[in-house]
Chains A and B, each alone.
With several copies, the nearest count.
Chain A
Amino acid sequence: MKKLINDPGDVVAEALVGMAAAHPDRLRIDHEQRIVYRADAPRQGKVGLVSGGGSGHEPLHGGFVGPGMLDAACAGEVFTSPVPDQMMAATRAVDGGAGVLHLVKNYTGDVMNFEMAAELAAAEAGTEVASVVIDDDVAVQDSLYTAGRRGVGLTVLLEKIVGAAAEEGRSLQDCADLARALVADGRSMGMALTSCTVPSAGRPTFDLAEDEIELGVGIHGEPGRERRPLAPAREVAAMLVEPVLADLDGAGDDGVIVLLNGMGGTPLIELYLMYGEVARLLDGAGVRVARSLVGNYITSLEMAGCSVTLLRADEERVRLWDAPVNTPGLRWGA
């Protein structure tokens, strides 16, 4: 295992130390509890947005903490959901009187830990908590016979858009409704060229031959829908875009917001090339691109590969997308 780390058990704690050092004015990090807060939390009268999940997906979620996006992010061990104590502490700390919204990616661990946190928070008087589960991954078919669709790329778009709504002063109910509407209208599909290596495991999670790709992979190096022979970018783009379009209920009034996301180990030159293929396919399908984002936003350690997320766009969503955001991972207008 070749990584820029010290002890594999210290990776998350030490990365948070570096993150705190890199963003002293913007973030406040509780190293004990492993929670990344925006420096000025809690904001009075604003709905608090709390997300979190296993680490190894950076910049998600800690890198999306800041004005216009999240108020707090709970960092679990690598690929392991954080624990209810963290979510409760974060919920308390960002409550500005308007309630707190939990944004949860649909993984058994995340859902159960956030569920316990919400139960425990409800027992404590005071904070109103709502929770939205994100499940956009069309690679998981039969969701009746599985843990359901995973939460993947849509998480980034959702945290941005709901973050802007919360910043505007919208109510908890409004923010939760918006988040649920986005979940209904967003779909993703990913693929991997290589596996990733969990530091504590020390070996790649799966083996992939030199001429194979894993199609429908998640963001934890979970094996995907199927193995396929390595193919040119234009064919890979079709393997991702087609199932997403097939599952999406058409484009929105304003087309779609597109995320072409890198898994961590794929360089930007390849991501741009892939985005060219995706844009061509969408154009061919008559789908208008309202906004796009290309880069490493929800990653899987050093895995090489990418994912495509489409979100039906309308005027309000585009407006909220364009609203100022100031986080380490996503910044504009501020």
Chain B
Amino acid sequence: MATVENFTAWVHDFARTIAEHSEQLTDLDRAIGDGDHGSNMTRGTARCAQLTDEQTFTGPGDYLKKVGMTLVSTVGGASGPLYGTFFLRMATSLTEVDDVGPEQLGTALEAGVEGILTRGRAERGDATMYDALAPALESYRQAVADGADLAGALAAAAKAAAEGRDATTDMVARKGRASYLGDRSRGHLDPGAASATLLLESAARTLA
């Protein structure tokens, strides 16, 4: 069961991991975008990591809402509204819940991923963060159906995210800046799929 402490650990771990991979994310974005994904995400997640110093949170929903709002207000670009919406929708799904079990987390993740879809209107194969998040969600669901606990389901999700991320290399981007490249985007890994994989890897380390 994941509590608010787990969720704060998640966001802190995510912020740390993003900072470590900032240059790498920016390099991916330089190749097919505008070279700012690393700094965008670092700016936003660093700000999120300060939230617990400034206030206390009554539960996961309360905390994730603040995280979502903070991302919306600090990241900018395409990833700001997308990650922001992800956390805001998770938060809504977890309102008034204190201990989050595998089923509930699945519903919350699904709400988050749906939020990204609504905001960005991406489809599978468009080479976006959705191509890491969608298979992650499916694997998570499958693992839970197969009886996995939180740890097992999140590990499966992280693994699927990484595979989905790697698969973006062979895709032609159809959303976001990379889409302007047309065929020339093939052969490049999508930066948002890379950061989304870091998000799920952080979850696997902290939520269970």
Contacts and interface: CB of A to CB of B under 8 A. Distances in A.
Do A's and B's CB atoms come within 8 Å in the complex? yes
A76 interface: yes
Interface stretch (A93-101, A145-153, A262-270): A145-153
Given A109-B76, A116-B81, A201-B26, A77 B35 contact: no
B81 A147 contact: no
Interface string A24-61: 00000000000000000000000000000010000000
A118 interface: no
Contacts of A225: 182
Given A198-B35, A205-B30, A223-B32, A146 B120 contact: no
B76 A147 contact: no
B72 A80 contact: no
A146 B150 CA distance: 37
B43 interface: yes
Given A77-B40, A147-B175, A147-B179, A84 B72 contact: yes
A221 B78 contact: no
Nearest to B42: A200
Contacts of A77: 36, 39-40, 43, 76-77
Nearest to B30: A205
Contacts of B82: 112
Interface size of B as a range? 35 or more
Nearest to B80: A83
Contact of A222 (B77, B78, B177): B177
A222 B185 CA distance: 11
Given A78-B36, A201-B35, A220-B177, A109 B78 contact: yes
B101 to A, nearest CB: 31
A222 B33 contact: yes
A79 B77 CA distance: 8
A200 B36 contact: yes
A85 B105 CA distance: 29
Nearest to B44: A83
Contact of B76 (A113, A140, A142): A113
Interface string A163-205: 0000000000000000000000000000000000010110101
Interface in A223-256: 223-225
Given A54-B77, A113-B80, 18 more contacts: A76-B76, A77-B36, A77-B76, A78-B36, A79-B35, A81-B78, A83-B80, A85-B73, A112-B78, A116-B81, A139-B180, A140-B180, A146-B179, A205-B35, A218-B177, A222-B177, A222-B181, A225-B182
